[in-house]
């Protein structure tokens, strides 16, 4: 699977882009219509109803929907959809150069991959996001004095609005100092250690909480037990790896901590209903 970077290692760039979505899609239709992932964050604002593919599911969305795409999430544009709107690209350095605390905050509150990967904008929110986006686009196009500093502060304002909208759409608290952040960290630890067979106690020790408390929090915020969340993320990572046609089933199995490829095949088929090879062929 193709992985794209934004201004990789070129720190003369702003490491942020704002594009009109429909023209961007038409220019990059061949690449954008195939499953891919990025080393940077993305926010997609679809002004019209349609479909978008993310993490191996086609999501049917209403008009004025924001998709909040984390680094390495798999997605693509559905060519039959009206892809009008805006596209925001940014590397973590764009935020961290201003504040590491803000990067951590928004990673937890917005790009946490817990719950739906999208949010709906009501009429008032749409006007606010539209106003900020237009001002931001003007700054980037005109490049007047201090435009970079103004652009980042405008974008931070937009992220705060998105954070508020997302919080209001949930039935639980997502403040970065809440227990919610522990569940986000748990997910990050699972992904970082996906090649190992760590137990619940291993993760709870690293998080500094009891396994009982970890189970309670995971069920509260994901509706899954820790064991099932680990299983779900292993399957997702397996799908992402299998999307590369140049990798063998054996390599995927060992990369996910399986001693034998046959064990991995049985595990995958039980959860996905097809074998890894069948899944891989289905992506062609």
In 3-state terms the chain splits into helix, strand, coil percentages (rounded to 5) of 50, 15, 35
172 has pLDDT over 90: no
Q: Are 52 and 116 part of one and the same domain?
A: yes
32-66, pLDDT tens digit by residue? 998 888 999 999 999 999 999 998 888 999 999 99
Mean pLDDT for 89-114 is 92
- Secondary structure class of 284 (helix, strand, coil): coil
Of 149, 118, 119, nearest to 14 by C-alpha is 149
Q: Are 131 and 238 part of one and the same domain?
A: no
**Assigned domain for 209 exists:** yes
Domain holding 64, by residue range, is: 2-169
Nearest-angstrom CA–CA distance, 240 and 268: 13
Q: Are 81 and 220 part of one and the same domain?
A: no
Taking CA atoms, 277 is separated from 1, 239, 244, 282, in Å, by 15, 11, 12, 9
- Secondary structure class of 17 (helix, strand, coil): strand
**Assigned domain for 138 exists:** yes
CATH number of the domain within which 129 lies: 2.60.120
Q: Are 192 and 161 part of one and the same domain?
A: no
Which single residue is written with the structure tokens 């999307």?
Answer: 243
Q: Are 160 and 269 part of one and the same domain?
A: no
Average per-residue pLDDT in the chain? Answer: 91
Nearest-angstrom CA–CA distance, 243 and 64: 30
Query: What's the pLDDT band for 12 if we cut at 50, 70, 90?
Result: confident
Extract the tokens encoding 8: 């990789």
pLDDT of amino acid 245: 67
24 has pLDDT over 80: yes
CB 242 within 8 A of CB 276: yes
**Assigned domain for 195 exists:** yes
Percent of the chain with pLDDT over 70: 97
Give the pairing of strands 36-38 and 2-4: parallel
**Assigned domain for 175 exists:** no
Q: Are 42 and 17 part of one and the same domain?
A: yes
**Assigned domain for 174 exists:** no
- Last residue of a domain, which of 149, 169, 189? 169
**Assigned domain for 147 exists:** yes
Burial of 98 (0-12, 13-18, 19+ CB in 10 A): middle
DSSP string, 116-182: -SEEE--HHHHHHHHHHHHHHHHHHHH--TTHHHHHHHHHHHHHHHHHHHHHHHSSS---TTSTHHH
CB atoms within 10 A of CB 170: 14
CATH number of the domain within which 242 lies: 1.10.10.60
Total domains present in the chain: 2
Q: What's the number of CA atoms in the CB half-sphere (13 Å) around residue 50?
A: 22
**Assigned domain for 68 exists:** yes
Extract the tokens encoding 131: 């106003």
Query: What's the pLDDT band for 111 if we cut at 50, 70, 90?
Result: very high
114 has pLDDT over 60: yes
186-243, pLDDT tens digit by residue? 999 999 999 988 999 999 999 999 999 999 999 998 999 999 999 999 999 899 888 8
Q: Are 16 and 112 part of one and the same domain?
A: yes
Q: Are 127 and 11 part of one and the same domain?
A: yes
- Last residue of a domain, which of 120, 137, 169? 169
- When comparing pLDDT for 211 and 12, which is higher? 211
CB 67 within 8 A of CB 44: yes
Mean pLDDT for 238-249 is 84
177 has pLDDT over 60: no
Taking CA atoms, 69 is separated from 26, 43, 60, 226, 235, in Å, by 20, 6, 16, 23, 19
Mean pLDDT for 265-281 is 93
Q: Are 217 and 150 part of one and the same domain?
A: no
pLDDT of amino acid 46: 97
- Last residue of a domain, which of 140, 169, 198? 169
**Assigned domain for 20 exists:** yes
Q: Are 192 and 236 part of one and the same domain?
A: yes
Query: What's the pLDDT band for 171 if we cut at 50, 70, 90?
Result: low
Q: Are 25 and 137 part of one and the same domain?
A: yes
Cα 52 from chain centroid (whole Å)? 13
Q: Are 92 and 215 part of one and the same domain?
A: no
Mean pLDDT for 125-150 is 96
- When comparing pLDDT for 11 and 155, which is higher? 155
Query: What's the pLDDT band for 8 if we cut at 50, 70, 90?
Result: confident
């Amino acid at each position: 699977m193709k992985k794209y970077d934004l201004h990789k290692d070129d720190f003369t760039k702003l490491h942020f882009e704002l594009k009109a979505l429909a023209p961007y899609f038409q220019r990059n239709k061949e690449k954008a219509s195939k499953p891919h992932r990025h080393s940077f964050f993305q926010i997609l604002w679809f002004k019209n109803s349609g479909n978008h593919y993310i993490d191996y599911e086609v999501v049917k969305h209403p008009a004025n929907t924001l998709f909040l795409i984390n680094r390495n999430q798999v997605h693509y544009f559905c060519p039959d959809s009206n892809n009008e709107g805006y596209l925001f690209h940014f590397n973590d350095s764009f935020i961290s150069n201003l504040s590491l605390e803000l990067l951590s905050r928004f990673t937890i509150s917005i790009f946490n991959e817990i719950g739906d990967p999208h949010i709906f904008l009501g009429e008032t929110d749409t006007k606010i996001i539209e106003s900020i986006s237009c001002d931001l686009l003007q700054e980037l196009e005109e490049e007047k004095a201090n435009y970079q500093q103004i652009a980042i502060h405008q974008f931070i304002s937009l992220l705060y609005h998105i954070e508020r909208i997302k919080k209001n759409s949930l039935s639980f608290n997502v403040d970065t100092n809440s227990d919610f952040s522990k569940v986000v960290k748990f997910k990050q630890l699972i992904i970082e250690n996906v090649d190992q067979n760590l137990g619940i106690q291993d993760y709870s020790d690293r998080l500094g909480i009891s396994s009982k408390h970890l189970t309670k929090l995971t069920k509260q915020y994901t509706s899954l037990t820790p064991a099932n969340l680990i299983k779900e993320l292993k399957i997702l990572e397996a799908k992402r790896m299998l999307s590369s046609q140049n990798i063998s089933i054996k390599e995927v199995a060992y990369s996910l901590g399986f001693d034998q490829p046959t064990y991995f095949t049985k595990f995958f088929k039980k959860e996905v209903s097809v074998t890894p090879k069948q899944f891989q062929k289905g992506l062609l």
